Structure 1
Protein backbone atom coordinates (compact mmCIF):
# COMPACT_ATOMS: atom_id res chain seq x y z
CA UNK A 1 0.00 0.00 0.00
CA UNK A 2 1.40 3.39 -1.04
CA UNK A 3 2.02 5.94 1.68
CA UNK A 4 0.09 9.18 1.53
CA UNK A 5 2.15 11.96 -0.06
CA UNK A 6 2.78 15.30 1.60
CA UNK A 7 4.63 18.24 0.04
CA UNK A 8 6.30 20.69 2.43
CA UNK A 9 7.99 23.87 1.22
CA UNK A 10 10.77 25.39 3.29
CA UNK A 11 11.53 21.97 4.75
CA UNK A 12 15.23 22.37 5.58
CA UNK A 13 14.87 24.15 8.91
CA UNK A 14 12.53 25.71 11.42
CA UNK A 15 8.80 25.11 11.25
CA UNK A 16 9.00 23.40 7.85
CA UNK A 17 11.49 20.82 8.99
CA UNK A 18 9.45 20.08 12.12
CA UNK A 19 6.33 19.62 9.99
CA UNK A 20 8.11 17.26 7.61
CA UNK A 21 9.43 15.22 10.54
CA UNK A 22 5.97 15.06 12.14
CA UNK A 23 4.48 13.55 8.99
CA UNK A 24 7.38 11.13 8.58
CA UNK A 25 6.87 10.02 12.17
CA UNK A 26 3.25 9.27 11.29
CA UNK A 27 4.16 7.08 8.30
CA UNK A 28 3.62 9.55 5.46
CA UNK A 29 5.83 10.00 2.43
CA UNK A 30 7.18 13.55 2.37
CA UNK A 31 8.61 15.62 -0.47
CA UNK A 32 10.45 18.74 0.63
CA UNK A 33 11.16 21.78 -1.51
CA UNK A 34 13.73 24.27 -0.23
CA UNK A 35 16.46 26.45 -1.71
CA UNK A 36 18.79 24.94 0.92
CA UNK A 37 20.16 21.41 1.00
CA UNK A 38 18.21 18.69 2.77
CA UNK A 39 18.70 18.33 6.52
CA UNK A 40 16.47 15.25 6.85
CA UNK A 41 17.67 11.68 6.45
CA UNK A 42 14.73 9.32 6.05
CA UNK A 43 13.93 6.69 3.45
CA UNK A 44 10.46 8.22 3.05
CA UNK A 45 11.77 11.74 2.44
CA UNK A 46 12.70 13.15 -0.97
CA UNK A 47 14.19 16.61 -1.39
CA UNK A 48 14.21 19.11 -4.24
CA UNK A 49 16.64 22.00 -3.91
CA UNK A 50 14.56 24.71 -5.56
CA UNK A 51 13.61 28.34 -4.98
CA UNK A 52 9.81 28.37 -5.13
CA UNK A 53 9.70 31.76 -6.86
CA UNK A 54 12.69 31.76 -9.21
CA UNK A 55 13.04 28.08 -10.16
CA UNK A 56 10.85 25.78 -12.21
CA UNK A 57 8.94 23.52 -9.85
CA UNK A 58 9.30 19.74 -10.24
CA UNK A 59 6.40 17.55 -11.30
CA UNK A 60 5.15 15.71 -8.20
CA UNK A 61 2.01 13.65 -8.86
CA UNK A 62 -0.57 12.43 -6.35
CA UNK A 63 -0.08 15.06 -3.66
CA UNK A 64 -2.68 14.62 -0.91
CA UNK A 65 -1.50 17.30 1.52
CA UNK A 66 0.30 20.53 0.63
CA UNK A 67 2.02 22.58 3.33
CA UNK A 68 3.00 26.06 2.16
CA UNK A 69 5.62 27.01 4.72
CA UNK A 70 8.48 28.61 2.74
CA UNK A 71 8.99 32.24 3.62
CA UNK A 72 11.52 34.95 4.32
CA UNK A 73 11.96 38.34 5.98
CA UNK A 74 13.84 40.52 3.53
CA UNK A 75 13.34 42.55 0.37
CA UNK A 76 11.92 39.45 -1.35
CA UNK A 77 8.94 39.10 1.00
CA UNK A 78 6.26 39.62 -1.65
CA UNK A 79 7.98 37.38 -4.20
CA UNK A 80 8.67 34.44 -1.90
CA UNK A 81 5.98 34.65 0.77
CA UNK A 82 3.07 35.45 -1.53
CA UNK A 83 3.88 34.96 -5.21
CA UNK A 84 5.95 31.82 -4.59
CA UNK A 85 3.21 30.38 -2.40
CA UNK A 86 0.61 31.01 -5.11
CA UNK A 87 2.88 29.39 -7.70
CA UNK A 88 3.30 26.24 -5.58
CA UNK A 89 -0.38 25.95 -4.78
CA UNK A 90 -1.58 26.41 -8.34
CA UNK A 91 0.79 23.65 -9.47
CA UNK A 92 0.11 20.98 -6.84
CA UNK A 93 -3.24 21.58 -5.14
CA UNK A 94 -5.91 21.45 -7.79
CA UNK A 95 -6.14 17.76 -8.63
CA UNK A 96 -8.25 14.76 -7.63
CA UNK A 97 -5.92 13.38 -4.93
CA UNK A 98 -5.77 16.54 -2.85
CA UNK A 99 -7.20 16.37 0.67
CA UNK A 100 -5.88 19.48 2.36
CA UNK A 101 -3.79 22.62 1.85
CA UNK A 102 -2.24 24.50 4.77
CA UNK A 103 -0.57 27.89 4.63
CA UNK A 104 1.86 29.20 7.23
CA UNK A 105 1.07 32.89 7.54
CA UNK A 106 1.98 35.07 10.52
CA UNK A 107 0.46 37.05 13.36
CA UNK A 108 1.75 40.05 11.41
CA UNK A 109 -0.70 39.19 8.65
CA UNK A 110 -3.48 39.80 11.16
CA UNK A 111 -2.11 42.82 13.00
CA UNK A 112 -0.06 44.64 10.36
CA UNK A 113 2.91 44.74 12.74
CA UNK A 114 6.58 44.34 11.70
CA UNK A 115 7.99 45.28 8.30
CA UNK A 116 5.44 46.60 5.76
CA UNK A 117 6.34 44.15 2.98
CA UNK A 118 6.31 41.20 5.39
CA UNK A 119 2.95 42.11 6.92
CA UNK A 120 1.45 42.69 3.48
CA UNK A 121 2.78 39.39 2.13
CA UNK A 122 1.43 37.39 5.07
CA UNK A 123 -1.93 39.16 4.96
CA UNK A 124 -2.04 38.26 1.29
CA UNK A 125 -1.40 34.62 2.16
CA UNK A 126 -4.50 34.59 4.39
CA UNK A 127 -6.63 36.14 1.65
CA UNK A 128 -5.28 33.67 -0.91
CA UNK A 129 -5.98 30.77 1.49
CA UNK A 130 -9.65 31.75 1.46
CA UNK A 131 -9.62 31.94 -2.34
CA UNK A 132 -8.15 28.43 -2.48
CA UNK A 133 -10.84 27.16 -0.10
CA UNK A 134 -13.52 28.33 -2.52
CA UNK A 135 -11.90 26.59 -5.47
CA UNK A 136 -10.71 23.41 -3.78
CA UNK A 137 -14.04 22.51 -2.19
CA UNK A 138 -15.06 20.60 -5.32
CA UNK A 139 -12.38 18.05 -4.37
CA UNK A 140 -13.85 17.83 -0.84
CA UNK A 141 -10.55 19.26 0.39
CA UNK A 142 -9.84 21.83 3.10
CA UNK A 143 -7.76 25.00 2.93
CA UNK A 144 -6.67 26.73 6.14
CA UNK A 145 -3.77 28.72 7.55
CA UNK A 146 -1.92 29.09 10.80
CA UNK A 147 -0.54 32.44 11.91
CA UNK A 148 2.24 31.96 14.46
CA UNK A 149 3.48 34.77 16.63
CA UNK A 150 6.98 34.41 18.00
CA UNK A 151 8.52 30.99 17.34
CA UNK A 152 11.91 29.76 18.53
CA UNK A 153 13.80 29.26 15.24
CA UNK A 154 17.14 30.23 13.72
CA UNK A 155 15.32 32.97 11.82
CA UNK A 156 14.73 34.72 15.14
CA UNK A 157 18.24 34.30 16.57
CA UNK A 158 18.78 38.06 16.51
CA UNK A 159 16.00 38.36 19.09
CA UNK A 160 16.63 35.19 21.07
CA UNK A 161 20.32 36.02 21.63
CA UNK A 162 19.55 39.55 22.85
CA UNK A 163 18.30 38.96 26.40
CA UNK A 164 16.87 42.44 26.92
CA UNK A 165 15.14 42.51 23.55
CA UNK A 166 13.71 39.02 24.00
CA UNK A 167 12.31 39.93 27.42
CA UNK A 168 10.74 43.07 25.98
CA UNK A 169 9.11 41.01 23.24
CA UNK A 170 7.83 38.42 25.73
CA UNK A 171 6.28 41.23 27.74
CA UNK A 172 4.06 41.93 24.73
CA UNK A 173 2.45 38.47 24.96
CA UNK A 174 -0.24 37.46 27.44
CA UNK A 175 1.42 34.09 28.15
CA UNK A 176 4.96 35.51 28.33
CA UNK A 177 6.37 32.85 26.02
CA UNK A 178 7.16 31.95 22.44
CA UNK A 179 6.11 28.75 20.73
CA UNK A 180 8.40 25.98 19.56
CA UNK A 181 8.43 24.39 16.11
CA UNK A 182 7.16 21.06 17.40
CA UNK A 183 3.90 22.69 18.51
CA UNK A 184 3.48 24.28 15.08
CA UNK A 185 4.00 20.86 13.50
CA UNK A 186 1.24 19.38 15.67
CA UNK A 187 -1.12 22.11 14.54
CA UNK A 188 -0.23 21.42 10.91
CA UNK A 189 -0.88 17.71 11.32
CA UNK A 190 -4.22 18.25 13.04
CA UNK A 191 -5.50 20.75 10.48
CA UNK A 192 -4.58 18.63 7.46
CA UNK A 193 -5.15 15.06 8.67
CA UNK A 194 -7.60 15.02 11.57
CA UNK A 195 -9.66 18.05 10.60
CA UNK A 196 -12.33 17.32 7.98
CA UNK A 197 -14.88 20.08 8.56
CA UNK A 198 -13.09 23.40 9.01
CA UNK A 199 -12.01 25.28 5.91
CA UNK A 200 -11.24 28.88 4.89
CA UNK A 201 -10.05 29.70 8.42
CA UNK A 202 -6.90 31.26 9.85
CA UNK A 203 -5.75 30.11 13.29
CA UNK A 204 -3.82 32.73 15.27
CA UNK A 205 -1.23 30.98 17.49
CA UNK A 206 0.60 33.90 19.09
CA UNK A 207 0.48 33.36 22.88
CA UNK A 208 -1.92 36.28 23.12
CA UNK A 209 0.31 38.85 21.44
CA UNK A 210 -2.48 40.27 19.28
CA UNK A 211 -4.94 40.27 22.20
CA UNK A 212 -2.77 42.28 24.58
CA UNK A 213 -3.73 45.93 24.80
CA UNK A 214 -1.34 48.66 25.87
CA UNK A 215 -4.12 51.26 26.08
CA UNK A 216 -3.51 53.79 28.89
CA UNK A 217 -6.68 55.01 30.63
Structure 2
Protein backbone atom coordinates (compact mmCIF):
# COMPACT_ATOMS: atom_id res chain seq x y z
CA UNK A 1 0.00 0.00 0.00
CA UNK A 2 1.43 3.39 -0.98
CA UNK A 3 2.22 6.03 1.61
CA UNK A 4 -0.32 8.43 0.07
CA UNK A 5 -3.07 5.82 0.25
CA UNK A 6 -2.28 5.12 3.91
CA UNK A 7 -2.47 8.85 4.60
CA UNK A 8 -5.85 9.09 2.88
CA UNK A 9 -7.23 6.16 4.87
CA UNK A 10 -5.71 7.30 8.17
CA UNK A 11 -5.46 11.10 7.96
CA UNK A 12 -4.89 11.39 11.72
CA UNK A 13 -2.04 8.91 11.77
CA UNK A 14 0.18 9.49 14.82
CA UNK A 15 -1.84 12.39 16.24
CA UNK A 16 -3.02 12.40 19.86
CA UNK A 17 -6.65 13.09 20.78
CA UNK A 18 -8.36 13.69 24.11
CA UNK A 19 -12.10 13.04 24.22
CA UNK A 20 -13.88 14.09 27.41
CA UNK A 21 -16.84 11.96 28.41
CA UNK A 22 -15.59 9.27 26.06
CA UNK A 23 -16.91 6.14 27.75
CA UNK A 24 -20.33 5.96 26.10
CA UNK A 25 -22.76 7.43 23.59
CA UNK A 26 -21.45 10.18 21.33
CA UNK A 27 -18.11 10.28 23.14
CA UNK A 28 -17.51 6.58 22.57
CA UNK A 29 -18.35 6.89 18.86
CA UNK A 30 -15.95 9.83 18.55
CA UNK A 31 -13.13 7.89 20.20
CA UNK A 32 -13.58 4.99 17.81
CA UNK A 33 -13.84 7.23 14.74
CA UNK A 34 -10.63 9.06 15.61
CA UNK A 35 -8.80 5.80 16.34
CA UNK A 36 -9.98 4.37 13.02
CA UNK A 37 -8.42 7.40 11.34
CA UNK A 38 -5.10 6.73 13.07
CA UNK A 39 -5.17 8.91 16.19
CA UNK A 40 -4.00 7.75 19.60
CA UNK A 41 -6.87 8.38 22.01
CA UNK A 42 -7.21 9.33 25.67
CA UNK A 43 -10.70 8.20 26.69
CA UNK A 44 -11.69 10.45 29.56
CA UNK A 45 -14.30 9.31 32.07
CA UNK A 46 -15.58 10.37 35.48
CA UNK A 47 -17.03 7.21 37.03
CA UNK A 48 -17.45 4.62 34.24
CA UNK A 49 -13.98 3.07 34.41
CA UNK A 50 -14.90 -0.33 33.01
CA UNK A 51 -16.78 1.19 30.07
CA UNK A 52 -13.89 3.57 29.30
CA UNK A 53 -11.39 0.73 29.40
CA UNK A 54 -13.53 -1.20 26.93
CA UNK A 55 -13.58 1.80 24.59
CA UNK A 56 -9.79 2.11 24.85
CA UNK A 57 -9.44 -1.60 24.14
CA UNK A 58 -11.64 -1.25 21.05
CA UNK A 59 -9.58 1.74 19.88
CA UNK A 60 -6.41 -0.34 20.08
CA UNK A 61 -7.88 -2.78 17.58
CA UNK A 62 -7.26 -0.08 14.96
CA UNK A 63 -3.52 -0.27 15.62
CA UNK A 64 -3.26 2.83 17.78
CA UNK A 65 -2.44 3.49 21.41
CA UNK A 66 -5.29 4.32 23.77
CA UNK A 67 -5.91 4.72 27.48
CA UNK A 68 -8.79 5.28 29.86
CA UNK A 69 -8.08 8.43 31.86
CA UNK A 70 -10.16 9.34 34.90
CA UNK A 71 -10.71 13.05 35.55
CA UNK A 72 -13.42 15.36 36.75
CA UNK A 73 -13.08 17.92 33.97
CA UNK A 74 -14.86 20.57 36.04
CA UNK A 75 -11.81 20.67 38.35
CA UNK A 76 -8.61 22.36 37.20
CA UNK A 77 -6.24 20.00 39.02
CA UNK A 78 -7.93 16.95 37.50
CA UNK A 79 -7.65 18.49 34.04
CA UNK A 80 -3.95 19.24 34.55
CA UNK A 81 -3.42 15.60 35.52
CA UNK A 82 -5.40 14.41 32.49
CA UNK A 83 -3.16 16.37 30.14
CA UNK A 84 0.00 15.24 31.93
CA UNK A 85 -1.07 11.59 31.75
CA UNK A 86 -1.89 11.93 28.06
CA UNK A 87 1.49 13.52 27.32
CA UNK A 88 3.32 10.84 29.29
CA UNK A 89 1.67 7.80 27.70
CA UNK A 90 0.50 8.99 24.28
CA UNK A 91 2.28 12.24 23.46
CA UNK A 92 1.31 15.89 23.21
CA UNK A 93 -2.36 16.35 22.28
CA UNK A 94 -3.16 17.88 18.91
CA UNK A 95 -6.91 17.19 19.07
CA UNK A 96 -9.29 18.06 21.91
CA UNK A 97 -12.96 17.09 21.82
CA UNK A 98 -14.95 18.72 24.61
CA UNK A 99 -17.80 16.23 24.73
CA UNK A 100 -18.56 15.76 28.45
CA UNK A 101 -22.04 17.01 29.22
CA UNK A 102 -25.09 16.63 31.42
CA UNK A 103 -28.67 17.77 31.00
CA UNK A 104 -31.81 18.33 33.02
CA UNK A 105 -35.43 18.78 32.02
CA UNK A 106 -37.40 21.00 34.35
CA UNK A 107 -38.85 24.49 34.61
CA UNK A 108 -36.35 27.23 35.41
CA UNK A 109 -38.20 28.05 38.64
CA UNK A 110 -37.73 24.42 39.71
CA UNK A 111 -34.01 24.41 38.89
CA UNK A 112 -31.87 24.61 42.00
CA UNK A 113 -28.73 26.70 42.14
CA UNK A 114 -26.69 23.54 42.65
CA UNK A 115 -28.20 21.95 39.54
CA UNK A 116 -27.59 25.13 37.50
CA UNK A 117 -23.95 25.24 38.61
CA UNK A 118 -23.40 21.56 37.82
CA UNK A 119 -24.72 21.94 34.27
CA UNK A 120 -22.75 25.12 33.56
CA UNK A 121 -19.58 23.64 35.05
CA UNK A 122 -19.79 20.37 33.13
CA UNK A 123 -20.94 21.74 29.79
CA UNK A 124 -19.05 25.04 29.66
CA UNK A 125 -16.41 25.50 32.37
CA UNK A 126 -14.87 22.11 31.54
CA UNK A 127 -14.27 23.23 27.94
CA UNK A 128 -12.44 26.30 29.23
CA UNK A 129 -10.27 24.26 31.60
CA UNK A 130 -9.38 21.64 28.98
CA UNK A 131 -8.69 24.15 26.21
CA UNK A 132 -6.53 26.23 28.54
CA UNK A 133 -4.33 23.22 29.27
CA UNK A 134 -3.96 21.85 25.73
CA UNK A 135 -3.46 25.11 23.84
CA UNK A 136 0.19 25.55 24.99
CA UNK A 137 1.01 22.17 23.41
CA UNK A 138 -0.78 23.15 20.22
CA UNK A 139 0.97 26.53 20.13
CA UNK A 140 4.32 24.77 20.37
CA UNK A 141 3.50 22.77 17.23
CA UNK A 142 1.61 25.61 15.53
CA UNK A 143 -1.21 23.15 14.95
CA UNK A 144 -4.33 21.96 16.73
CA UNK A 145 -7.99 21.04 16.51
CA UNK A 146 -10.47 21.92 19.26
CA UNK A 147 -14.00 20.60 18.74
CA UNK A 148 -16.78 21.48 21.16
CA UNK A 149 -19.95 19.39 21.31
CA UNK A 150 -22.85 21.82 21.70
CA UNK A 151 -26.54 21.19 20.86
CA UNK A 152 -29.36 22.52 18.72
CA UNK A 153 -30.76 23.88 21.99
CA UNK A 154 -27.66 26.04 22.21
CA UNK A 155 -28.81 27.59 18.92
CA UNK A 156 -32.59 27.69 19.30
CA UNK A 157 -33.17 27.28 23.04
CA UNK A 158 -35.30 24.56 24.57
CA UNK A 159 -38.31 24.95 26.85
CA UNK A 160 -37.72 23.32 30.24
CA UNK A 161 -34.02 23.11 29.39
CA UNK A 162 -32.92 26.65 30.17
CA UNK A 163 -29.74 25.70 32.03
CA UNK A 164 -28.74 23.21 29.35
CA UNK A 165 -29.51 25.67 26.55
CA UNK A 166 -27.55 28.42 28.29
CA UNK A 167 -24.52 26.18 28.73
CA UNK A 168 -24.56 25.00 25.13
CA UNK A 169 -25.18 28.51 23.79
CA UNK A 170 -22.26 29.71 25.88
CA UNK A 171 -20.14 26.95 24.36
CA UNK A 172 -20.95 28.28 20.88
CA UNK A 173 -19.88 31.81 21.86
CA UNK A 174 -16.74 30.33 23.45
CA UNK A 175 -16.02 28.53 20.18
CA UNK A 176 -16.37 31.63 18.02
CA UNK A 177 -14.25 33.83 20.29
CA UNK A 178 -11.47 31.28 20.82
CA UNK A 179 -11.29 30.57 17.09
CA UNK A 180 -10.36 34.22 16.50
CA UNK A 181 -7.82 34.15 19.30
CA UNK A 182 -5.85 31.07 18.26
CA UNK A 183 -6.46 31.04 14.50
CA UNK A 184 -3.16 32.80 13.68
CA UNK A 185 -1.36 29.98 15.49
CA UNK A 186 -2.65 27.18 13.25
CA UNK A 187 -5.36 26.05 15.68
CA UNK A 188 -8.97 25.68 14.57
CA UNK A 189 -11.93 25.74 16.94
CA UNK A 190 -15.37 24.55 15.85
CA UNK A 191 -18.62 23.43 17.44
CA UNK A 192 -20.87 20.52 16.57
CA UNK A 193 -24.51 21.00 17.58
CA UNK A 194 -26.36 17.67 17.37
CA UNK A 195 -30.09 17.33 17.04
CA UNK A 196 -32.08 14.51 18.64
CA UNK A 197 -29.58 11.66 19.05
CA UNK A 198 -30.51 8.22 20.32
CA UNK A 199 -28.36 8.10 23.47
CA UNK A 200 -28.85 7.78 27.23
CA UNK A 201 -29.51 11.53 27.37
CA UNK A 202 -32.98 11.03 25.89
CA UNK A 203 -33.65 7.62 27.43
CA UNK A 204 -36.04 9.22 29.93
CA UNK A 205 -38.45 10.24 27.18
CA UNK A 206 -41.75 8.44 26.80
CA UNK A 207 -42.38 6.58 23.54
CA UNK A 208 -44.79 9.23 22.30
CA UNK A 209 -42.18 11.92 22.98
CA UNK A 210 -39.58 10.00 20.98
CA UNK A 211 -42.06 9.59 18.14
CA UNK A 212 -42.72 13.32 18.18
CA UNK A 213 -39.00 13.99 17.79
CA UNK A 214 -38.85 11.62 14.84
CA UNK A 215 -41.84 13.33 13.21
CA UNK A 216 -40.14 16.73 13.58
CA UNK A 217 -36.93 15.42 11.99
CA UNK A 218 -36.96 15.72 8.21
CA UNK A 219 -35.05 12.48 7.58
CA UNK A 220 -37.61 10.56 9.65
CA UNK A 221 -35.34 9.08 12.31
CA UNK A 222 -33.32 9.93 15.38
CA UNK A 223 -29.63 10.52 14.88
CA UNK A 224 -26.98 8.05 15.98
CA UNK A 225 -23.67 8.68 17.78
CA UNK A 226 -21.92 7.66 14.55
CA UNK A 227 -23.67 10.53 12.73
CA UNK A 228 -21.99 12.98 15.09
CA UNK A 229 -18.64 11.19 15.15
CA UNK A 230 -18.28 11.44 11.38
CA UNK A 231 -18.58 15.24 11.57
CA UNK A 232 -16.07 15.42 14.42
CA UNK A 233 -13.64 13.24 12.50
CA UNK A 234 -13.76 15.61 9.53
CA UNK A 235 -13.18 18.65 11.74
CA UNK A 236 -10.21 16.87 13.34
CA UNK A 237 -8.49 16.22 10.01
CA UNK A 238 -5.68 18.43 8.64
CA UNK A 239 -7.79 19.04 5.53
CA UNK A 240 -10.30 21.10 7.56
CA UNK A 241 -7.75 23.88 8.14
CA UNK A 242 -9.87 26.65 6.55
CA UNK A 243 -12.90 25.85 8.72
CA UNK A 244 -12.91 27.57 12.11
CA UNK A 245 -15.31 29.44 14.36
CA UNK A 246 -18.19 27.49 12.81
CA UNK A 247 -21.20 25.67 14.21
CA UNK A 248 -22.09 22.54 12.28
CA UNK A 249 -25.45 21.06 13.24
CA UNK A 250 -26.12 17.47 12.18
CA UNK A 251 -29.79 17.38 13.12
CA UNK A 252 -31.53 15.58 10.26
CA UNK A 253 -33.48 18.68 9.32
CA UNK A 254 -35.00 19.14 12.78
CA UNK A 255 -33.65 22.70 12.77
CA UNK A 256 -33.03 24.53 9.50
Instruction: Report the counterpart of residue 65 of structure 1 in structure 2.
Output: 95
Can you give the 5+ residue segments of structure 1 that lack an aligned partner in the other structure? 212-217
Aligned partners of 1:51, 1:7: CA distance in 2, in Å?
A: 14
Instruction: Report the counterpart of residue 158 of structure 1 in structure 2.
Output: 204
What is the aligned counterpart of 1:121 among 158, 164, 167? 167
| Structure with the larger strand share | 1
What is the aligned counterpart of 2:212 among 155, 168, 184? 168
The yes-or-no answer on 1:191 pairing with 2:235 is yes
Instruction: Report the counterpart of residue 99 of structure 1 in structure 2.
Output: 144
Aligned partners of 1:27, 1:16: CA distance in 2, in Å?
A: 17
Aligned partners of 1:132, 1:93: CA distance in 2, in Å?
A: 11
Aligned partners of 1:101, 1:82: CA distance in 2, in Å?
A: 14
Moved more, 192-201 or 56-65: 56-65
Instruction: Report the counterpart of residue 66 of structure 2 in structure 1.
Output: 45
Q: SS at 1:199's partner residue?
A: coil
Aligned partners of 1:23, 1:67: CA distance in 2, in Å?
A: 10
Can you give the 5+ residue segments of structure 2 that lack an aligned partner in the other structure? 1-12, 105-114
Aligned partners of 2:234, 2:250: CA distance in 1, in Å?
A: 14
The yes-or-no answer on 1:81 pairing with 2:123 is yes
User: Aligned Cα RMSD in Å?
Assistant: 1.6
Instruction: Report the counterpart of residue 186 of structure 2 in structure 1.
Output: 140
Q: SS at 1:171's partner residue?
A: helix
Q: SS at 2:140's partner residue?
A: coil
Aligned partners of 2:38, 2:255: CA distance in 1, in Å?
A: 36
Instruction: Report the counterpart of residue 9 of structure 2 in structure 1.
Output: none
Aligned partners of 2:199, 2:78: CA distance in 1, in Å?
A: 28
Instruction: Report the counterpart of residue 56 of structure 1 in structure 2.
Output: 78
Aligned partners of 1:17, 1:93: CA distance in 2, in Å?
A: 23
Aligned partners of 2:78, 2:248: CA distance in 1, in Å?
A: 31
Instruction: Report the counterpart of residue 215 of structure 1 in structure 2.
Output: none
**Could you tell me how far 1:66 is from its partner in structure 2?**
0.8
Q: SS at 2:96's partner residue?
A: strand
**Could you tell me how far 1:204 is from its partner in structure 2?**
1.5
Q: TM-score scaled to structure 2, two decimals?
A: 0.77
Instruction: Report the counterpart of residue 23 of structure 1 in structure 2.
Output: 34
**Could you tell me how far 1:103 is from its partner in structure 2?**
0.5
